[in-house]
Amino acid sequence: MFRVASDTLNSRVPAGPLEQKWDKHRFNLKLVNPANKRKYSVIVVGTGLAGGSAAASLGELGYSVKAFCFQDSPRRAHSIAAQGGINAAKNYPNDGDSIWRLFYDTIKGGDYRAREANVYRLAQVANNIIDQCVAQGVPFAREYGGTLANRSFGGAQLSRTFYCRGQTGQQLLLGAYQALMRQVSTGRVKMYGRREMLELIVSNGAARGIVVRNLENGKLEVHTADAVVLCTGGYGNVYYLSTNAKGCNVTAAWRCHRRGAFFANPCYTQIHPTCIPVSGDYQSKLTLMSESLRNDGRVWVPKNKADQRPPGQIPDDERDYYLERRYPSFGNLAPRDISSRAAKERTDAGFGVGESGLAVFLDFRDAIARDGEDVVRKKYGNLFHMYEKITAENPYKVPMRIYPAVHYTMGGLWVDYNLMSNLPGLYVLGEANFSDHGANRLGASALMQGLSDGYFVIPYTIGDYLAGSKHSKLAEDAPECRAALQDAENRITKLLSVNGRRSVDSFHRELGLLMWDYCGMARTKAGLEATVPRIRALREEFWNNVRVPGEGSTLNQSLEKAGRVADFMEFAELLAVDALHRNESCGGHFREEYQTEDGEAARDDENYSYVAAWEFQGAGNEPVLHREPLVFENVKPSTRSYK
Amino acid sequence: MSSDTLNLTLRVWRQAGPDKPGGFCDYQLEGVSTHMSFLEMLDVLNEKLIAAGDEPVAFDHDCREGICGMCSLMINGQAHGPDRGTTTCQLHMRRFASGETITIEPWRASPFPVVRDLVVNRSAFDRIIQSGGFVSVNTGNAPDGNCIPVPGHRQEIAMDAAACIGCGACVAACKNASAMLFVSAKVSQLSILPQGQPERAGRVLNMVAQMDKEGFGSCTNTSECEAACPAEISVSHIARLNREYMKALIFADR
């Protein structure tokens, strides 16, 4: 199903002690003279936390920046929906935190499948992020005396999470958005909204531009630059139902992959334990209930199968608080992968609640009795409100019903320590890259990574590349630009001309269900082997039977969706192949054949302690596996325990 | 849970492009589950239209959890529909009755021109933020977060204002198409926080000037905006904006 390349990928991690790597590296990076910066142009695709912060910071430095997003405004990127918070090792609560501990927790949380040096750098710059956001006017929660407040989050035994009620992502994104708008007003950044990237332009082996479609009028545009920075988020919507926004897609990343960029660890997907359960087959998306709720909510199911009593009438000794039972030291704050699997274990065994039996309770009874309803409302009011809107149940009175759902994807385009892909000049930031979370991401660390990459990594590393690059300006009608433009145009024509019988959404739903059943929370060799041909068959049917109404020369939302689903159809196969090749369980990748006696993930460090970076060989052709060995000089990989 | 379904008549604004004439089209939709969100109901309508060989209704949406501000829609004449503090994506069909006719229109305001069907262009809001809705602090300039203490109660007011999702419902609900609630939310947040002080006067003057330039109408204090706002931004922020504006105009050292 795949071929293995004999080379090993070079991560370009600098030598020296872990604590000094980033400082030394920054000194060794080449600089671009302030007066010369405006002569270099940079394209930033995507304007979430990573893209917004990158475009703003590069603009501040003086580079000529063009930023693109498919939404009508950069303020809409899905980073805005992050609820819980952002981690940093400030140790303000004086509870023993340190950069080293944040680094250690993140490496362990990722089940020892992340690069040490990247994670350490992330932990180092996390404190700068908090300072920067405070200075921008982000209204973080405060103590009465005016100092910053912290709360605890999954996978950590201390309080290091900064938050803005249940809307932390919104406030951080608006901070980055405002910084970006300020650069737009100075003219250093030119903003292009409602543009979707359809192709990457590669010239002499380097990324030099993009082809975008203006979604309002359908016009294709070519934009060239000296470097391209991709910040286009994750691929969770390959499952159709996820907590991602409807527009989230893999297209930009996949188009780069088709042009030669390696895709790393696509099988590392995060299933978040606390989402509102699926109801009905018309459902269009799943809604997350922040992990922060597990600070005060207790997760349980009845001890007796098919207990039909209302939850409030089930006495404590007939409730199974299974997270507290199985993981006494972390309890309800066990990491996401572990909590999700524990919920699946209970519901598979027949103890699930609700109409479908695919749900568990998240109960605030004890917190309300202890602290009062007002305190609970102050902390989680907007989440409780959202839950009631969707389910018509009042969570102050009856426990929430929750179930795991696809939430985040740790895999992404392969990047080196400088966040550059194997294609020179193509940088990949935030969720779109694979770099910092290994096989599982801890809560409150996605915001940290997006902003770390955008505010504090790319401004230094891109200068090194630009200072060393010797290329001349690429004309927008150069042959490689015209070819990429033609490819994009041909694809649109092809999608519009199939004129079959099934809608794009019906294909997307079918693909999603297939992926969830065989490539979701638990995977098996047999299931994955059977899934690959089914994905291929569905892809073939798509190209013969999809109906995309309308034209290419107007706003056409069916056409937008069709292009994205077409790419998901190719990507899904790679995800399944990656999951099949990785004969171990780690983090979010759980192969049923590889588990310990008590049902925990069993890693195989001897054979699989590497990053799997895949090279495209044409749709339907065997991809080539390149490996980057993971070297642990500072922490010893051990069996993760949260007991 | 009940398994109730609704039969509805949808009266939807259709417009092929910015310069094309628009008009209402009526569609019958049967068997709509009361558990659906309003946008899921439109998804069902669109699937039906595609199956019949028609073009689906274009509407803006993205996160579908009430925070991105992308969804809009005047529903029976009300911005985001009948529920208080609720975006269209969070509105559920259990709020409607079988046999009802539901009128669905785009935001109606000249600074938000229609792009197609129910989709409008809200880039005027971005330009207002560009005119001053920020703190000028370059990356790397920040002191330690706790060097800027903010009393808890002031932070709470700032957060109330900062919760604005930029959807434009305030403009759509206002008979004058005024953007005062949107502008005041940002002015208020940054005038309350210590970080916003150095640019306080210039910010309010520039943002109000840009708002006027974009063609938004005047505020006559009827508070329709507050009633329609899904983030429940209070009109008290408009009062603060007015005070800030007067102070800046008369006293400011600009």
The string of pLDDT tens digits covering residues A458-474 is 999 999 999 999 888 99
Residue of A129, A138, A196, A451 to mutate when probing chain B, most B C-beta within 10 A? A138
Averaged pLDDT, A108-131: 98
Averaged pLDDT, A257-269: 98
Question: Please, which pLDDT band fits residue B2 given cuts at 50, 70 and 90?
Answer: very low
Averaged pLDDT, A174-183: 98
- The domain made up of A479-610 has a fold known as Methane Monooxygenase Hydroxylase; Chain G, domain 1 (1.20.58)
Residue of A131, A504, A507 to mutate when probing chain B, most B C-beta within 10 A? A131
Helix (H) or strand (E) holding A118: helix A116-136
Distances (CA, A) of B151 to A108, A135, A456: 37, 15, 29
| φ, ψ for residue B174, nearest 5 deg | -85, 135
- Kindly name the residue from A336, A341, A441, A523 that is annotated as catalytic: A336
Residue of B6, B46, B57, B63 to mutate when probing chain A, most A C-beta within 10 A? B63
Averaged pLDDT, A431-443: 96
Distances (CA, A) of A546 to A381, A492, A569: 43, 13, 13
> In this predicted structure, what is the pLDDT of residue A380?
87
pLDDT at B1 over 50: no
Higher-pLDDT residue of A84 and A422 is A422
Residue of B nearest to A556 (CA): B58
User: Which residues, at least 6 apart from B231, have a Cβ–Cβ distance to it below 8 Å?
Assistant: B85, B163, B164, B165
- How far out from the chain centre does Cα B131 lie? 19
* A216 contacts in chain B (CB < 8 Å): 115, 121
* A280 contacts in chain B (CB < 8 Å): 33, 35-36
Distances (CA, A) of B179 to A261, B11, B196, B236: 45, 27, 21, 14
Question: Please, which pLDDT band fits residue A154 given cuts at 50, 70 and 90?
Answer: confident
* Residues A149/A154/A157/A159 CA torsion (nearest 10 deg): -10
- The domain made up of A272-407 has a fold known as Flavocytochrome C3; Chain A, domain 1 (3.90.700)
Q: Which residues pair with A122 in a beta bridge?
A: none
Averaged pLDDT, A573-587: 98
* A73 contacts in chain B (CB < 8 Å): 122-123, 125-126, 166
Looking at the complex, report in whole angstroms how far the Cα of residue B84 sits from the nearest Cα belonging to chain A: 11
Q: How far apart are CA A106 and CA A603, in angstroms?
A: 17
If you count them, how many residues does chain A have? 643
pLDDT at A382 over 90: no
Q: How far apart are CA A488 and CA A255, in angstroms?
A: 10
**What are the start-end ranges of the H helices in A520-617?**
525-545, 557-581, 605-608
CA count, 13 A, side-chain hemisphere, A318:
13
Token code pair at residue A387: 């839950």
> ipTM > 0.90?
yes
Q: How far apart are CA A401 and CA A354, in angstroms?
A: 7
Instruction: State whether residue B65 sits within 8 Å of chain A by CB.
Output: yes
By the 8 A CB rule, do B171 and B178 touch?
yes
| Exposure string for A362-382, b = 16+ CB within 10 A, e = fewer | bbbbebbeeeeeeebeebbeb
* Residues A29/A33/A34/A36 CA torsion (nearest 10 deg): -120
Averaged pLDDT, A152-177: 93
Residue of A134, A144, A498 to mutate when probing chain B, most B C-beta within 10 A? A134
Give tens-digit pLDDT for A336-349. 999 999 999 999 99
Task: Decide if A170 and B43 are in contact by the 8 Å CB cutoff.
Answer: no
Q: How far apart are CA B5 and CA B61, in angstroms?
A: 24
Tell me the three state secondary structure of residue A466.
helix
What count of other Cβ atoms lies within 10 Å of the Cβ of residue A10? 10
Helix (H) or strand (E) holding A481: helix A479-498
Residue ranges of domains in chain B, CATH in brackets: 5-116 (3.10.20.30), 122-251 (1.10.1060.10)
Q: How far apart are CA B206 and CA A639, in angstroms?
A: 58
> Residues 171..230 of B with a Cβ closer than 8 Å to A: which?
189-190, 193, 195-196
Chain A to chain B Cβ contacts (< 8 Å): 216
Residue of A nearest to B232 (CA): A382
Q: Over chain A, what is the mean pLDDT? A: 96
> In this predicted structure, what is the pLDDT of residue A281?
84
Averaged pLDDT, A515-539: 97
pLDDT at A266 over 50: yes
Helix (H) or strand (E) holding A346: helix A336-348
Domain parsing of chain A, residue ranges:
272-407, 479-610
pLDDT at B253 over 70: no
Question: Please, which pLDDT band fits residue B3 given cuts at 50, 70 and 90?
Answer: low
> In this predicted structure, what is the pLDDT of residue A205?
96
> In this predicted structure, what is the pLDDT of residue A35?
94
> In this predicted structure, what is the pLDDT of residue A279?
83
- Provide the greatest CA pair distance for chain A: 74
Averaged pLDDT, A145-160: 91
Task: Decide if B69 and A185 are in contact by the 8 Å CB cutoff.
Answer: no
* A283 contacts in chain B (CB < 8 Å): 40
Residue of B nearest to A560 (CA): B58
Does A272-407 match A479-610 in CATH topology? no
Residue of B nearest to A78 (CA): B63
> Residues 109..148 of B with a Cβ closer than 8 Å to A: which?
115-116, 119, 121-123, 125-126, 129-131, 133-146, 148
Task: Decide if A136 and B195 are in contact by the 8 Å CB cutoff.
Answer: yes
Q: In what order do the strands lie in the sheet with A298-302?
A: A269-275, A400-409, A360-363, A298-302, A319-320
β-strands A220-224, A206-214: how paired? antiparallel
> In this predicted structure, what is the pLDDT of residue A356?
87
> In this predicted structure, what is the pLDDT of residue A411?
98
> In this predicted structure, what is the pLDDT of residue A164?
93
pLDDT at A364 over 50: yes
Establish whether A195 is a catalytic residue: no
Tell me the three state secondary structure of residue A593.
coil
pLDDT at A589 over 60: yes
Question: Please, which pLDDT band fits residue A371 given cuts at 50, 70 and 90?
Answer: very high
Token code pair at residue A553: 């020369």
Instruction: State whether residue B56 sits within 8 Å of chain A by CB.
Output: yes
pLDDT at A113 over 80: yes
Residue of A nearest to B149 (CA): A146
Q: Over chain B, what is the mean pLDDT? A: 96
> In this predicted structure, what is the pLDDT of residue B254?
59
Give tens-digit pLDDT for A315-335. 999 999 999 999 999 999 999
By the 8 A CB rule, do B110 and B214 touch?
no
* A142 contacts in chain B (CB < 8 Å): 149-152, 155
| Exposure string for A567-582, b = 16+ CB within 10 A, e = fewer | bbbbbbbbbbbbbbbb
3-state secondary structure labels for all residues of A357-392: CCCEEEECHHHHHHHCHHHHHHHHHHHHHHHHHHHC
Token code pair at residue B67: 């925070």
pLDDT at A218 over 90: yes
Q: Which of A598, A606, A604, A626 is nearest to A614 (CA)?
A: A626
Give tens-digit pLDDT for A442-452. 999 999 999 99
**What are the start-end ranges of the H helices in B163-219?**
169-173, 180-192, 200-213
Looking at the complex, report in whole angstroms how far the Cα of residue A45 sits from the nearest Cα belonging to chain B: 18
Smallest Cβ distance to A142: which of B131, B152, B195? B152
Tell me the three state secondary structure of residue B17.
coil
Percentage of the residues of chain A whose pLDDT score is greater than 90: 93
Averaged pLDDT, A391-419: 96
Averaged pLDDT, A148-160: 90
Task: Decide if A135 and B44 are in contact by the 8 Å CB cutoff.
Answer: no
